[in-house]
Chain A
């Protein structure tokens, strides 16, 4: 697929930002990565992909052998969309490059939520070969099963430039599960993913993202969500596998009355993993609500866990909860919760705690007959358990499964 052409002004803005380092995270030299050369063939039937590829994808929650469990599928390898299909009426799933050809209005949405000149990474996506998914629920349509999208890094030492657009039209309901995975278990690579979400009046989007990288990959997602009146955005992020460097600070803007946003993140970092991850919510309309919850565990890696809620309208309410657990002797968790509000009637709060497992708690469980290891495991499992209100049971179960599958590695 070819590069998505936007306007000349965009090009200029992007060029001006090409050397602009991001506000947070290690500055990555883009010259260390090549653009993927090979164009990969389109795959009509994704169950026919190589067994190894399917297994990698399954590790990130992508099911290719039982299409009945999904409303739609989008698969991208490096910069090439290799498969996309929708199985439900009123749901569109396709490559962004194709969607632009189909809907001439769509160019208005490009870089509408994420500023093109945010940093060198957004600029690079604009100025390089890129593609991504376009997922849309038409007004009033509700997905029964989730739509799945997988961004797969096939070529080593390459950069994957992704631009996604998600639109939930008025009164629609869209459940999306996205997984990221790599072919190589240890070759470096860079993933840059721009995602722009538009949640219209009364629409609901749940977005569950499971990352499954390798210890040499650098990742720079850039995500902004705009939620209109009465809309709901529920974002769940799970990172249980090693990655070299991940920095992201997705932002949701509640622009309509009563818009609601919930972010849940589960982060784990072993030795060699550096995470700088936060969620930012701007409550710009009356009665907007948010809850931002993160759980971070280090077994030797470094985690900066950020959170930011800003109240800019009457009667908004927000709560931030950042909890970090240090398992083992090394590892750093730096929790940075921030609140900003200046109007009357704003109700913002936060709770942050970082520490080791309390010995007293372990002993309490041991007094009930559990061994030290069993007691520790029960506490870690409890720490990672976040009850996600509003998530369909099937996604909830898949999320728990992804967490449980990696729990053993933590001990």
Chain B
């Protein structure tokens, strides 16, 4: 279970998100909507624990443990994994090295080659990670690394943006696998939090909870399919208005 309580986060001295509350039960996948600049990526980066994203208030706990003070790698080893919206190029470090780092500590027979084949990235293993990768290739490479890592909490930052229609099915399949869509809820051990603008990926994951984020706060919580329909029809402005007229949801 992931439990976020009254969380406020500042980046380089600027307060970006305020008083966020969120609970993701084991086996659940939640979806985060919101206009550009709302603070969605910031929330994910704060959950992952990047030092630039300073928690100024509140706490994050994972599997019953307060992780607010843990470093990025400690959180990763505890079972949190993230796909980046814009991961850096690391010259000299090959995709193979990244996947093998992710596989570290796992002994269930997944191999680098098998994973590369699944993500259709066989020819990328010897290339420097993210160097000259197209937008869609970056997305697949991020998911391949997560497949190697097998986190219990998967954070996906716009996994489908910039991906063509054929590859979206492939990405959906990988997400599906990561988040154990085909496994009965009671038996799932994985959870997910996904940022999306298009909603295409809703077809591939079992998500029953969605949030709309505006100006660093969570506006509403509800069924993600309904939310998407409202956003599509009326835009975020309507959503914001709706939110302004309501008392923010708190646990």
Residues of A bordering B, CB below 8 Å: 323, 358, 360-361, 363-372, 374-375, 378-379, 381-385
Q: Is the CB of B149 within 8 A of A365?
A: no
- Check B101 against A367 for contact (C-beta < 8 Å): no
Are the C-beta atoms of A368 and B91 separated by less than 8 Å? no
| B48 and A364 contacting across the interface, CB-CB below 8 Å | no
Task: State A236–B20 Cα separation when bound (angstroms).
Answer: 56
Contact A368 B101 (CB under 8 A): yes
Docked CA distance A382–B101 (Å): 14
> Are B76 and A364 in contact (CB-based, < 8 A)?
no
Instruction: Please report the C-alpha to C-alpha distance between residue A245 and residue B87 in the assembled complex, in whole angstroms.
Output: 40
- Find out whether the CB atom of B72 lies under 8 angstroms from the CB atom of A360: no
| B104, A369: Cβ atoms closer than 8 Å | yes
Name the residue in B73, B97, B145, B149 with the highest tally of chain A Cβ atoms < 10 Å from its Cβ: B73
> Interface on chain A toward B: helix, strand, loop, or mixed SS?
helix
30 A-B residue contacts at CB 8 Å? A361-B93, A363-B72, A365-B90, A365-B98, A366-B72, A366-B73, A367-B50, A367-B73, A367-B76, A367-B82, A368-B76, A368-B102, A368-B145, A368-B149, A369-B76, A369-B102, A369-B104, A369-B105, A370-B73, A370-B101, A372-B71, A375-B73, A378-B93, A378-B101, A379-B93, A382-B90, A382-B91, A382-B92, A382-B94, A385-B92
Apart from the given pairs A367-B81, A367-B84, A370-B73, 5 other A-B contacts in the complex at a CB distance below 8 Å: A323-B91, A361-B88, A363-B50, A364-B90, A378-B93
Collect the chain B residues with CB atoms within 8 Å of residue A364's CB: 84, 87-88, 90
In Å, the complex CA distance between A379 and B128 comes to 11
Residues of A within 8 A of B50 (CB): 363, 367
- Which of B92, B94, B128 has the most C-beta atoms of chain A within 10 angstroms of its own C-beta? B92
Q: Give the residue among B48, B51, B101 with the most A Cβ atoms within 10 A.
A: B101
Report Cα–Cα, A358/B91, bound state, in Å.
Answer: 11
Most chain B beta carbons < 10 A, residue from A323, A360, A366, A385: A366
CB-CB contacts of B45-70 with A at 8 A, as 1s and 0s?
00010110000000000000000000
Q: Give Cα A287–Cα B132 distance, bound, in whole angstroms.
A: 28
B71, B105, B128, B149: the one within 8 Å of A366 (CB): B71
Q: What's the Cα separation between A372 and B48 when bound, in Å?
A: 15
Complex Cα distance, B96 from A378, in Å, reads: 12
Residues of A contacting B145 in the complex (Cβ-Cβ under 8 angstroms): 368
B97 / chain A contacts, CB cutoff of 8 Å: 378, 382
Does A369 contact B149, Cβ atoms closer than 8 Å? Answer: yes
Smallest CB gap from B72: residue in A: A366
Could you tell me the distance between the alpha carbons of A378 and B73 in the complex, rounded to whole angstroms? 15
Q: Which A-B residue pairs are the 10 nearest by beta carbons? A: A382-B92, A382-B93, A366-B73, A369-B76, A366-B72, A361-B90, A383-B92, A360-B88, A368-B102, A368-B101
Query: Which residues of B are interface residues toward A (Cβ below 8 A)?
Result: 48, 50-51, 71-73, 76-77, 81-82, 84, 87-88, 90-94, 97-98, 101-102, 104-105, 128, 145, 149
Using Cβ atoms and an 8 Å threshold, which residues of chain B touch A367? 48, 50, 72-73, 76, 81-82, 84
Q: Does the CB pair B93–A372 fall under 8 Å?
A: no
A244 to B193, CA, bound (A): 55
Query: What residues of A have a CB within 8 angstroms of the CB of B149 in the complex?
Result: 368-369
Bound-state Cα–Cα, A364 to B141, Å: 13
CA distance A383 to B128 in the complex (A): 11
In whole angstroms, what is the CA distance A370 to B149 when docked?
Answer: 11
* Most central of A358, A364, A372, A381 by chain B CB within 10 Å: A364
Residues of B within 8 A of A381 (CB): 92-93
The complex places the Cα of A370 from the Cα of B76 at a distance, in Å, of 8
Residues of B within 8 A of A384 (CB): 92
In the assembled complex, the CB of A174 is this many whole angstroms from the nearest CB of chain B, namely 29
Contacts of B84 in A (CB 8 A): 364, 367
Cα distance A195–B186 in the bound complex, in angstroms: 74
* Contact B76 A366, beta carbon cutoff 8 Å: yes
Nearest residue (CB) in B for A385 is B92
**Nearest B-chain residue to A369, judged by Cβ:** B76
Q: Min CB distance, A45 to chain B, in Å?
A: 42
In the bound complex, how far is the Cα of B105 from the Cα of A370, in angstroms? 11
**What residues of chain B lie closer than 8 Å to A370, measured between beta carbons?**
73, 101, 104
Q: Which residues of A sit under 8 angstroms from B104, Cβ to Cβ? A: 369-370
Chain B residues with CB below 8 A from A369, complex form: 73, 76-77, 101-102, 104-105, 149
Instruction: Return the chain A residue nearest B77 by Cβ.
Output: A369
A365 near B51: Cβ-Cβ < 8 Å: no
Q: B124 CB to closest chain A CB, in angstroms?
A: 15
Q: Could you tell me the distance between the alpha carbons of A366 and B195 in the complex, rounded to whole angstroms?
A: 22
Complex CA gap A364/B72 in Å reads: 9
Q: How far is the CA of A411 from the CA of B87 in the complex (A)?
A: 25
Tell me which residues across on chain A come within 8 A of B128, comparing CB atoms.
Answer: 382
Cα distance A152–B90 when bound, in Å?
39
Shortest distance between the CB of A364 and any CB in chain B (Å): 5
| Chain A residues with CB below 8 A from B71, complex form | 366, 372
Q: Which residue of B lies closest to A372 (CB)?
A: B73
Which residues of chain A are within 8 angstroms of B105 by Cβ–Cβ distance? 369
Nearest CB of chain A from residue B50's CB, rounded to whole Å: 6
- In the complex the two chains form, what is the Cα distance from A370 to B77 in whole Å? 8
* Bound CA–CA A361/B92 (angstroms): 12
CB distance from B68 to the nearest CB of A (A): 17
Q: Once bound together, how far apart are the Cα atoms of A109 and B41, in whole Å? A: 67
A369 to B74, CA, bound (A): 7
**Among A360, A364, A368, A372: residue with most chain B CB under 10 A:** A368
CA distance A383 to B93 in the complex (A): 8
B73 engages A371 (CB within 8 Å) = yes
Q: How far is the CB of A385 from chain B (nearest CB, A)?
A: 5
Q: Which residues of B contact A385 (CB under 8 A)?
A: 92
Assembly CA distance A323 to B92 (angstroms): 11
Contact present for A358 and B88 (CB under 8 Å): yes
B15 to chain A minimum Cβ distance, whole angstroms, is 22
B243 to chain A, nearest CB (A): 32
